[in-house]
Structure 1
């Protein structure tokens, strides 16, 4: 097969824990993700030729580029090349959205990808360039929010998330949630919009209130004994793929990945049942959550998981779910200022923050009651 497949594989990573044996290819070229596909195609073709010398002499007509998906921070492309032996090789080219470095630690992301790939997660990292990366192509479909409600898929996601949480990534094991969220707060509370209408809407936000909410949730969650694991932190439907024929599930896009609280990753995933439209009537019921927890906690014997363990994870996930709303609400404000992507990020802030306020009392009451009983016991 094509030379791309031989750059490195998971076995090589596993045998080289410090990644010294892995040669990730690099180019200083950048590709503007805002361009239409006909203009992007020759740029991606040139990029591929620059990165993969085996392709450098091939005619441009051998290359084709198509859009896989356009999220609200990235553009995902599939580049396919017909090699001299007639075989077609495809790679995934991910273009970072402009200004995403305000909210994403790219160094942390690249470090994690190497080890997650070695553990069988996502696509292999093949190359890095000016504003993106090239990875192996995954032959699978991307989930939509309603897929996550399917009992079979929910069980598979739970099992895969447990496995994901067992991966060891070198470096600090300090949970990043509150570090990241207060960084977001500092940036979000000091913005100024050129657009007068946006500025007026922005000025209706009480950042002293937001700060008090952050402090309250942080203080309460500090009483949980939530395991700190390497988390995906953005497990929405668009970051889960499935090959239906092989019944194989893939987690992709680890740009927000970090060591974090297990409950945050799960609570955040449940919030994503609502989709980009933020229809929180789709948030999983207690019964659906327990189904997920059984397969997360007991992948081999889900029915053997105790009621005590189910309740503890239910409280943990639904308290950290509140932190997820605050995290992405503040993220939305930063994106509203810096992202050129056509998306109403300001409205997104209010959708997330209002849902936080709607769920807060019920969730905090449950958490405090649970903690009180646990301490008494």
Structure 2
């Protein structure tokens, strides 16, 4: 099985290269953002080639077409069939008496209601050159397909040179404060358990964390924190002076040794499950020219779907609840996905409760440490996670697993240990992006913030180990 999958991945890479070489002119226009007419024509041609039914005959001029993203990683376009079926080329009612059978068009009045999607999301890759870029595209496409098959992500309608056609999902990204909503938090735990129980054709060795840290550390040391590096202003210069003395290589080695003593199962992880990567499904409302259909997520260099005003959040939430009374969530953006320790994925999600990336002014994020999950909130999340994780792996899907107190305490310990790793990882990420990215974000401030939390937690752990101080209380038999 593994050899077969490897061959498929190799063939997929070669296929992508051939497709891109064969269609450079078409793909290039979309990637370079031509006029709206050019993009509409190309989008119509792609949809006509890869979709069926009404898409085969519709005039691109009649498509509902809108660019909904312009980030550095991808370009996204909303493409929909016209609501007026008479605008479809060759339209004629199937019972029209004036036409002979052999002269009637293939398209009938009811064909638009057949299985073809009425609206799609057209994704154009922003970077397809280089071996690493190609590997990333293939890996991400394989994962996207697996998630689609398991109904954990949007449906995949087609893969073409330089991009793919996805199911369009009317949704918005969560607000940071919504992560603490009990119903939403428990649903996120369920979704995370589903991701963690997947068997994905990637390396099962948990080395993503350390390889990524090592790569970013080298860039930080050789470029961003080089002896001659300077900040754009006095504040940046002051932060750089505080960061330069840090021996990040030594910190990574200490951290690697520390977490190795913690037994945390290796699973397929998202590794960046923050609110911007969790969509709450909305009603079927297409994007409007008058609406701010997308908002910029400065931390992740991408555009995201709009969010409700704070005062309307609780009232609006009720319209996004399923028939079972649960919020309908979809996880997106598996850019950093890899096999990793489950403790990291959960710890990283918990830390995101404290960061809100909607600040319109520098440093373009808010930090509210008081919003970090309480022990009780962690326990509820972990219990829900373990319940679904064990059920997913069980042959009897109807049998509900009730996690023991020891299981919950064990995972709490894993989360506590890997919280250190989350701070150091995103500290290095922020240093690497500082001065390099054109995105308005306080990278230097964010790097120093995460480093300070890392150092504080490290000192607490060293003290406990040295003086035998008691660990944080463990839960006992309580009703959670």
Q: TM-score, normalised by structure 2?
A: 0.62
Give the secondary-structure state (helix, strand or coil) at the position aligned to 1:321: helix
Q: How does 1:171-186 map to 2 (within 5 A)?
A: 171-175=202-206, 176-186=208-218
Given the alignment of the two structures, is residue 235 of structure 1 paired with residue 278 of structure 2, yes or no? Answer: no
Is the 8 Å Cα contact of residues 224 and 434 (structure 2) preserved in structure 1?
Answer: no
The alpha-carbon deviation at position 291 of structure 1 amounts to 0.5
Match of 1:289 among 358, 374, 378: 378
Question: 1:266 corresponds to which residue?
Answer: 346
Change beyond 3 A, Cα 1:248–1:231? same
Given the alignment of the two structures, is residue 65 of structure 1 paired with residue 66 of structure 2, yes or no? Answer: yes
Is the 8 Å Cα contact of residues 174 and 259 (structure 1) preserved in structure 2?
Answer: yes
Change beyond 3 A, Cα 1:79–1:144? farther
The alpha-carbon deviation at position 336 of structure 1 amounts to 2.1
Match of 2:219 among 168, 175, 187: 187
Q: CA RMSD in A?
A: 3.9
Is the 8 Å Cα contact of residues 295 and 302 (structure 1) preserved in structure 2?
Answer: no
Is the 8 Å Cα contact of residues 77 and 121 (structure 2) preserved in structure 1?
Answer: yes
Cα distance in 2 for partners of 1:309, 1:370 equals: 23
Is the 8 Å Cα contact of residues 127 and 133 (structure 1) preserved in structure 2?
Answer: yes
Cα distance in 2 for partners of 1:216, 1:99 equals: 36
Match of 1:212 among 247, 250, 275: 250
Question: 2:356 corresponds to which residue?
Answer: 275
Question: 1:336 corresponds to which residue?
Answer: 434
Q: How does 1:38-49 map to 2 (within 5 A)?
A: 41-42=36-37, 44-49=39-44
Q: How does 1:343-354 map to 2 (within 5 A)?
A: 343-354=441-452
Cα distance in 2 for partners of 1:50, 1:290 equals: 51
Cα distance in 1 for partners of 2:129, 2:461 equals: 32
Question: 1:90 corresponds to which residue?
Answer: 119
Cα distance in 2 for partners of 1:164, 1:147 equals: 21
Question: 2:453 corresponds to which residue?
Answer: 355
The alpha-carbon deviation at position 155 of structure 1 amounts to 0.9
Given the alignment of the two structures, is residue 197 of structure 1 paired with residue 239 of structure 2, yes or no? Answer: no
Question: 2:291 corresponds to which residue?
Answer: none
Cα distance in 2 for partners of 1:329, 1:89 equals: 43
Is the 8 Å Cα contact of residues 73 and 341 (structure 1) preserved in structure 2?
Answer: no
Q: How does 1:154-165 map to 2 (within 5 A)?
A: 154-165=185-196
The alpha-carbon deviation at position 296 of structure 1 amounts to 0.7
Q: TM-score, normalised by structure 1?
A: 0.77
Answer with 308-317 or 246-255: which moved more.
Answer: 246-255
Answer with 249-258 or 297-306: which moved more.
Answer: 297-306
Larger radius of gyration: 2
Q: Which runs of 5+ in 1 are unaligned?
A: 1-16, 373-377
Is the 8 Å Cα contact of residues 333 and 349 (structure 1) preserved in structure 2?
Answer: yes
The alpha-carbon deviation at position 31 of structure 1 amounts to 6.8
Question: 1:7 corresponds to which residue?
Answer: none
Give the number of aligned pairs. 350
Cα distance in 2 for partners of 1:235, 1:117 equals: 18
Give the secondary-structure state (helix, strand or coil) at the position aligned to 1:298: helix
Is the 8 Å Cα contact of residues 223 and 371 (structure 1) preserved in structure 2?
Answer: no
For residues 250-295 of structure 1, the C-alpha deviation after alignment (integer angstroms, 9 at most, x for no partner) is: 1111111111111111111111112322333221111110010010
Question: 1:121 corresponds to which residue?
Answer: 152
Cα distance in 2 for partners of 1:370, 1:309 equals: 23
Question: 1:250 corresponds to which residue?
Answer: 330
Q: Which runs of 5+ in 2 are unaligned?
A: 1-6, 50-54, 89-110, 282-319, 358-364, 392-398, 472-480
Question: 2:361 corresponds to which residue?
Answer: none
Change beyond 3 A, Cα 1:49–1:331? same
For residues 19-55 of structure 1, the C-alpha deviation after alignment (integer angstroms, 9 at most, x for no partner) is: 999x9987642578897xxx77446424423422355
Give the secondary-structure state (helix, strand or coil) at the position aligned to 2:257: helix
For residues 317-363 of structure 1, the C-alpha deviation after alignment (integer angstroms, 9 at most, x for no partner) is: 12112111111111112222432322232222122222222333335
For residues 144-194 of structure 1, the C-alpha deviation after alignment (integer angstroms, 9 at most, x for no partner) is: 111110111111111111111011111321111111111111122221599
Cα distance in 2 for partners of 1:358, 1:192 equals: 24
The alpha-carbon deviation at position 231 of structure 1 amounts to 0.5
Give the secondary-structure state (helix, strand or coil) at the position aligned to 2:222: coil
Cα distance in 2 for partners of 1:136, 1:77 equals: 12
Match of 2:173 among 142, 155, 163: 142
